[in-house]
Amino acid sequence: MTAQHPRRIADRYELKALPMPGGMGLVWEGYDTVLDRPVAIKQIRAEKTHTAAQRAELISRFRREAKVTAKIEHPGVPAVYDAAIDKPADSPGAVAELYLVMQLVRGQDLRDILAEHGALPVDWAVSVAAQICSVLSYAHAVPVVHRDLKPSNIMIDAEGRVKVLDFGVAAVLGTDVTQITETGRMVGTREYMAPEQFLGVGVSPRSDLYALGCVLHEMVAGEKVFDGNSDPALQHVHDEPVPLRALRPEVPAGLEQLVLDLLAKAPEDRPDAAQDVYERLVPYLPASGGADAPVPAGVADPTRPYRTPLAPKAKPGSAAGPLAPHPPTVLDWSAAPPPAPATVSTPAFAAPHVSGEEIQEAEEHAVRLFEEERYSQAAGVLEEILDQARPDDPRLVETRRVHAAVLLAGGDYRRALSALRLLASVVSGVEGPESEDMREYRQQIALCHAVLGEHEQALDAYRALLPGAGHEETLALQQKIADLLLALHRVREAAEVLRGLLHHLDPVSPEAQRVRELLTRIELTGGTGH
């Protein structure tokens, strides 16, 4: 590739400059030949896909997660423009490559700032953390969990605005939890991961808050939460962090307590949401119109968005002047392949203001959109019908069934939870609370709670399904229960469930292998928990 003949992907994007290495791929500065604008292009690494089936799964997950992440509408998240799949025309046997095309952002990443300057002024650290909270509040509402929040994924642009990069890339590659190698060593970003990630169970918004606590501690103290003299991952599970005021006495007591709360071992002991963290940071933010803080050479001032809200762009040569270019990135997401919508059938009765023909037409249209992975449009079509019916109308059960499936497919778990609860209440009155359909809806309700980080509710929901479950269903439920207990840091209880489960599984099955791996993780932690 030369400057005269740059490589082009997807017959649209030119790769202009040499790529910069990223945590999970290569980042290029590119050019969109259709819209005449510079872009950032991240090539997703796919070394672990050795078969056609693995490749197809990666591409499917890539498309699904890109759609979900594109729903994060916040200036602190570089906009996702395209999810391109490119197969070089001049290489017939080549495997298609995956690229995320996004807004080009220039700035300096927090990792480099900390490496050069060490501890930051307290109002700087708080300003960065508050901006991250704002981003997370929008992402978690989708819901999208970052899974890999760390200084190298946090950028400060020339105006002092924080950008959170690489949302969803961990989920696409299946690296959102650590893995144990054959030697028993852990791989992953150990310095910033929550204990539940080390244990290899589901992450939640509170996992991002733990990582934020690690980042905030490092910004204020000038050093990581744990020094790395032993395995940092084990330290995150076992050890209590050193309070900030022991390292820096001038730190406000309330800020020290917030960091300790963010670093709680059990997710349920951390703040409820990013919004709550933001509110606790507000007292330490610089006042609007306040004086400029001393600015380290070459670093933009992250307090500027608070001191001068909605200020015009800084003049050239000012303190918040241009920084050296830095490769961008983006994205996060949720996971688990969604269930397909049920087969469409015409309800026996029409809703009061909608004809049976209109209902059938809407359902068929929604399923066509579903098959094209146009989930938001499919949900909208069904909602036009459902809005005209009573919430408890039993004559639109099939419409509600398809609607819930569409929301699950689109990763809209909060709305799916509401839709499933309403559907379950209607079906329970018609079929009874123990029908096969009801068990399916209760399973999906539990899944929504788990994905949304509502672990206690999910645990209660799965346990309530054990009575009446067959052998295979019981084994699956016990696995989910163990995962939730681990996520809640109730490690001893989880170990008991897993050991009992192992006796009933085929020793050579993938399920048994996963249980043994989880027990290995628990042994590495010393089996601690409440």
What single DSSP character describes residue 305? H
- Pair 258, 277: CB distance under 8 Å: yes
Q: Is 148 a known active-site residue? A: yes
What single DSSP character describes residue 100? E
Among candidates 269, 34, 27, which has minimal Cα distance to 166? 27
- Please state, in angstroms and rounded to a whole number, the distance separating the CA atoms of residues 170 and 144: 12
- Sequence-distant (6+) residues with CB within 8 A of 100 are 41, 42, 44, 66, 80, 82, 83, 84, 169, 329, 330, 331
- Pair 374, 406: CB distance under 8 Å: no
Among candidates 388, 392, 383, which has minimal Cα distance to 352? 388
Q: Active-site residue among 82, 109, 148, 332? A: 148
Residue whose pair of structure tokens reads 């010393």 in the numeric block:
526
Token code pair at residue 23: 């945590």
CA of 179: how far to CAs of 184, 232, 490, 495, 497, in Å?
9, 15, 20, 18, 21
- Please state, in angstroms and rounded to a whole number, the distance separating the CA atoms of residues 212 and 235: 17
Token code pair at residue 134: 């704002």
What single DSSP character describes residue 102? E
H-run or E-run covering 516? helix 510-525
What single DSSP character describes residue 154? E
My answer on whether omega of the bond before 143 falls inside 30° of 0, hence cis, is yes
Active site (catalytic) residues? 148
